[in-house]
Structure 1
Amino acid sequence: MTQVKLLSGDNPQIAKADGDAPVQAWIAAIPGWKSPAAAQLDRLVEQVVPGVKKAVKWNSPLYGVEGQGWFMGLHGFKNYLKINFFFGQQLTPLPPVGSKDPNARYVHITEAGIDQDQLADWIRQAAANPGWKV
């Protein structure tokens, strides 16, 4: 297997592509505790949103609903994984981290783990709304 280049903040450089395979390649390539955490998040999305659409664009996994657009993205940093809810302002309660984009809200996953119930609720809400179309 070819060594994946890690970009700034340990984010894997994965070629732009649609489907589960590039997302799994990204998850396998992100170092340390972030790989199993990203895999856990990926499984959670699949459970909450059956038939979820996946892709890697801009070296980040994206999750969406066919015909509605992308509702969530994931990006790796040295000390955390950033979940980007593209229209997070519509979620209740609001995800904790604001953005320069007035529509987006973030959740930072650290080595301490994730609140799976709260994330599942946000994912469910985000997937039910129109998403980001690119």
Structure 2
Amino acid sequence: MAKTQRQPTKVAAKAAPVLLSGGNPQIAKGDGDAPVQAYIAAMPGWKRGLGERLDMLIVRNVPEVRKAVRWNSPFYGIEGQGWFVAFHVLTHYVKVTFFNGMSLRPIPPGGTVKSKEARWIDIREGDEFDEAQMADWVKQAAALPGWIP
């Protein structure tokens, strides 16, 4: 009886997410922690560490947070209340947007007349990350009515 050699099975390698303009990961729209973690894992270079810190800070300060990926960005909100913060990778920085930022104290520095209530902070490589201020903004933002698209 002749022994047949077993052929190795082909396992489809999971392709890395495509990085869009500025290095922003292209992640399919989805609800829950998994798509957010996929986004963070695909963030290039130093931005990945910042994404991990932001995600942990938000979860630590808002344990009931709801997560999703929308428009190739992680969104954080409260069920029935809307989204209160999101972040997005750009070429030289990560933009953290508070949808009701005009109601935060102090008001985050980024914004224009056209941005209405939204305000943001751009975090660049080498910037000092003020974790206490970010945590305070996150707690304030989570207590406000959120953005409902």
Q: Percent identity?
A: 55
Alignment of 1:105-116 (within 5 A): 105-112=119-126, 113-116=128-131
> Does residue 1:47 correspond to 2:63, yes or no?
no
For residue 109 of structure 1, report the CA deviation from its aligned partner.
Answer: 1.3
Equivalent of 1:120, from 135, 139, 147?
135
- CA offsets 1:60-84 (integer angstroms, 9 cap, x no match): 0000011110001110011110001
Alignment of 1:27-66 (within 5 A): 27-66=40-79
Moved more, 107-116 or 4-13: 107-116
Equivalent of 2:36, from 23, 45, 53?
23
Structure 2: 5+ residue runs without aligned partners? 1-13
Structure 1: distance between partners of 2:15 and 2:52:
20
Structure 2: distance between partners of 1:69 and 1:4:
27
**TM-score with structure 1 setting the length:** 0.97
Name the aligned partner's letter for residue 40 of structure 2: I
What is the RMSD of the two structures over their aligned residues, measured on CA atoms? 0.8
The equivalent residue for 1:104 is 118
The size of the alignment, in residue pairs, is 134
Divergent runs of 4+, >4 A: none
For residue 102 of structure 1, report the CA deviation from its aligned partner.
Answer: 1.4
Structure 1: 5+ residue runs without aligned partners? none
Structure 1: distance between partners of 2:70 and 2:111:
22
Larger radius of gyration: 2
**TM-score with structure 2 setting the length:** 0.87
For residue 19 of structure 1, report the CA deviation from its aligned partner.
Answer: 0.3
Name the aligned partner's letter for residue 105 of structure 1: R
Equivalent of 2:108, from 95, 107, 118?
95
Structure 1: distance between partners of 2:26 and 2:44:
12
